[in-house]
Structure 1
């Protein structure tokens, strides 16, 4: 009888955008921490079996320009604002468009049920802001306000976005952070202001940050929800610094929620609960020539759908402690039964090898471990049941009797 029970680091990355939204907090409010959540999921797809990356699922609730970004980039609100932000024509870079950002951080994510955990690497990949004030950034800097000074050193315009027009009171931009500065952190600023014939007092309504999240290969991770948090200090002279002004918050907590939803299903044809063992070429050579069959066997095909790790072992009605046995109903004589497994390409064993006629252990404690290197959908696999020739000779000496035994093959996929 065959049963199916419900039931490891290849780097990938997730990229996205954060937008800090206006909360309307008065500058006199005390500094405090603010939380935001980034979510992502991995779900295998028959249309894209080679996918091994988390997909950003953080809702986009902000500026339509950024909601329309393609690929892995997607915005979300990050509630921080800076009031009384001065833009002045002088030699201080802090009185221009200015950003200081931290280097990469390791974040530990923990499985909600088992406590299993893994590390991800979080990096700022882009940074920007939406300014609200008496004049457009086009007016006070120029139409290239979105290009940082010394572009390419720590920040560059890259493929990022900017908007604003003459006379507009709302202007926005993002700067791409260079690869080296994503790891180390850094500072970027705009070119100097071209005029100071305006009220210098601005409000930063939104802070925009692109990110990369380097993760293990989700194909190696058990199903479930993984959570973690990283914190950054916010304000003048802090890890996240947008220049001098009155900050609504002093700490930013980014909460991560990553969900893994593997697919696992076994499809057996009708009649698979009974396996009659036969010689490879039938009984003709034995009956007419007296030739002992090299083995008695049955190969049981089935289809497997899998995208994550799982374990397999067998339970035996009769066993000798290490192998299943078949028992003669007449005198209780027993012979060993080998139970082996072949799995399709895309699934490997714990040694990283393909799985072909791999013998299965008979206890859950010694279960064989397998993992997907690529999601497989409806691919052919086989169970192999064999009695070897030396044991077949003993069985034939008891001609006319029946050997039988129940074997349960347990697939444990931790779903």
Structure 2
């Protein structure tokens, strides 16, 4: 029997990337796009994987058999056996600037390898083709997955000493092929995984980059289990996650919309016929593009209590009430619609608005109003009242 030995290598590490950028043509498509370049199976069979929403990655540990695989072995763990961590696992990903955490879920739903042996025609006694020899070696070739696994995709490539195969794992069960002939030396040249992801809702995430890591063990009775005979040169497989969120928050104010002239309902002409104004008000429409959470606040030139104030040349001051109505698709954190929500210096009540979809250039309204009692005071004063009110939309929440 010949003996093979493996040199130590760095731990197998793979990186999975996903990105979200709002698309005006798909306002309800609130999902990350997997931007990880496929390697291995899905690189070779892109159409099959695209139709099945599959993604694959190839890791490069070399996994040697420690002893021959005996013909007709009874213990399935002595031969070619695979087990994948097919159950869902959670991975915390952390925002690089704020430290805020979100959760990604992943399951490994496919596992494959390249089995390398002595020349396969010699192993089965000769006088057959290479294809026939691969089939004779295990009863059926390795592209036919043993239960409960399923063969995944088209037949894989093979040559006189190697066969590439890939099995789908509906559960975390052992799947084993029994050798019909003794295999003196063998190894798995690499392993490949296919995976599914469940990503958080990007509309509820801050813009920026989130990173996280999950580590799987490899070896007998570990997360990735190749039986008792095949031992990896490194017992760890690490998956690094990088999620990128690119949000939009933009406000358009129409020309002249930053100069607000308050007037009574129906206009000043009613006063000229003896009808005293009860309130002064003005609604100002704005257009909003929003794919992210945000908060709103006030900043004031003059402060009266928790809001802004206006004054005349004699320094008579009155408070002005400011409120906001947001379009459908933007809600309070409790799911309620936003209608005439007061804007206060303290920020109370406007600490968090969340999109239910990408809102692309939809109209909202700022409401400015002076209450009845202060309007009455102003009517007995002289001069023009003015003041500066700044409305802030802030995505840093």
Same fold (TM over 0.5): yes
Aligned to 1:260: 245
> Residue 174 of structure 1 corresponds to which residue in structure 2?
166
- Per-residue deviation at 1:165? 6.5
SS of structure 2 residue aligned to 1:49: coil
Query: 1:189 aligns to what?
Result: 176
| 1:351 aligned residue (334, 337, 340) | 334
Q: Which residue of 2 aligns with 1:73?
A: 54
Alpha-carbon offset, residue 122 of structure 1: 2.5
**In the alignment, which of 213, 216, 219 is matched to residue 203 of structure 2?**
219
Q: Is the 8 A contact 1:58 1:75 kept in 2?
A: no
Q: Is 1:141 aligned to residue 138 of structure 2?
A: yes
Q: Please state whether the residue corresponding to 1:383 is helix, strand or coil.
A: strand
Distance across 2 between alignment mates of 1:170 and 1:380: 63
- 1:203 & 1:305 partners in 2: Cα distance? 56
- Which residue of structure 1 lines up, in the alignment, with residue 124 of structure 2? none
Structure 2 spans left out of the alignment, 5+ residues = 121-130
Aligned to 2:81: 98
Off by >6 Å, runs of 4+ in structure 1: none
Q: Which runs of 5+ in 1 are unaligned?
A: 1-25
Which of the residues 23, 34, 49 maps onto 1:45?
A: 23
Contact 1:97/1:189, CA 8 A, preserved across alignment: yes
In structure 2, C-alpha distance between the alignment counterparts of 1:41 and 1:315, rounded to whole Å: 35
Instruction: Output the CA distance in 2 between the equivalents of 1:266 and 1:165.
Output: 56
Larger Rg: 2
The match for 1:128 is 112
1:322 equivalenced with 2:300 (yes/no) = no
Q: CA deviation at 1:328?
A: 1.8
Equivalent pair of 1:297/1:385 in contact (CA under 8 Å): yes
The corresponding residue for 1:269 is 254
* Aligned equivalent of 1:281: 266
Determine the C-alpha separation between the residues in 2 that align with 1:349 and 1:301. 20
Q: Give the Cα–Cα distance (whole angstroms) in 2 for the partners of residues 187 and 59 of structure 1.
A: 29
SS in 2 for 1:257: strand
Corresponding position of 1:13: none
**Does structure 1 residue 28 correspond to structure 2 residue 37?**
no
Contact 1:292/1:389 (8 A) holds in 2: no
TM superposition shift of 1:147: 4.2
Q: Deviations over 1:127-179 (max 9, x none)?
A: 2223344335434235574343333xxx334xx3142478664433333332x
Would you say the 8 A contact 2:307–2:320 is kept in 1? yes
* CA-based RMSD: 2.6
Q: Secondary structure at the match of 1:101?
A: coil
Deviation at 1:57, TM superposition (A): 1.1
Match of 1:407 in 2: 389
Matched, 1:360 2:343: yes
Deviation at 1:105, TM superposition (A): 2.7
For residues 194 and 159 of structure 2, the distance between their equivalents in structure 1, rounded to whole angstroms, comes to 28
What is the CA–CA distance in structure 2 between the aligned matches of 1:156 and 1:61, rounded to whole Å?
21
1:308-362 Cα offsets, whole Å, 9 max, x none, are 1111101011121211111122x21122211111111111112221111111121
Report the number of matched residues: 374
Whether contact under 8 Å (1:315, 1:363) holds in the other structure is no
The C-alpha deviation readout for 1:18-59, integer Å capped at 9, x for no partner, is: xxxxxxxx8332475222211111111112111222211112
Q: Structure 1 stretch 133-142 or stretch 374-383: which is displaced more?
A: 133-142
- What is the TM-score of this pair, normalised by structure 2? 0.85
Contact 2:312 2:384 (C-alpha < 8 Å) held by counterparts:
yes
Q: Is the 8 A contact 1:163 1:171 kept in 2?
A: no
Q: Is the 8 A contact 1:61 1:67 kept in 2?
A: no
CA 1:390 to 1:168, structure 2 compared with 1: closer, same or farther past 3 Å? Answer: farther
Q: Which has the higher contact order (CA 8 A, sep 6+)?
A: 1
After superposition, what is the alpha-carbon deviation per residue over 1:180-231, rounded to whole angstroms, capped at 9, x for unaligned? x3xxx332224x34x42x7453332331222223332111010111111111
1:409–1:217 Cα change, 3 Å: same
* Post-superposition CA distance 1:271-328 (Å, at most 9, x none): 122111122211122111x223342222111111111111110101112121111112
Secondary structure at the counterpart of residue 212 of structure 1: strand
More displaced 10-residue stretch of structure 1: 165-174 or 116-125: 165-174
**What is the deviation of 1:75?**
2.5
Shift of 1:119: 2.7
Asked if 1 retains the 8 angstrom alpha-carbon contact of 2:342 and 2:349, the reply is: no
Identify the residue that residue 292 of structure 2 maps to in structure 1.
Answer: 308
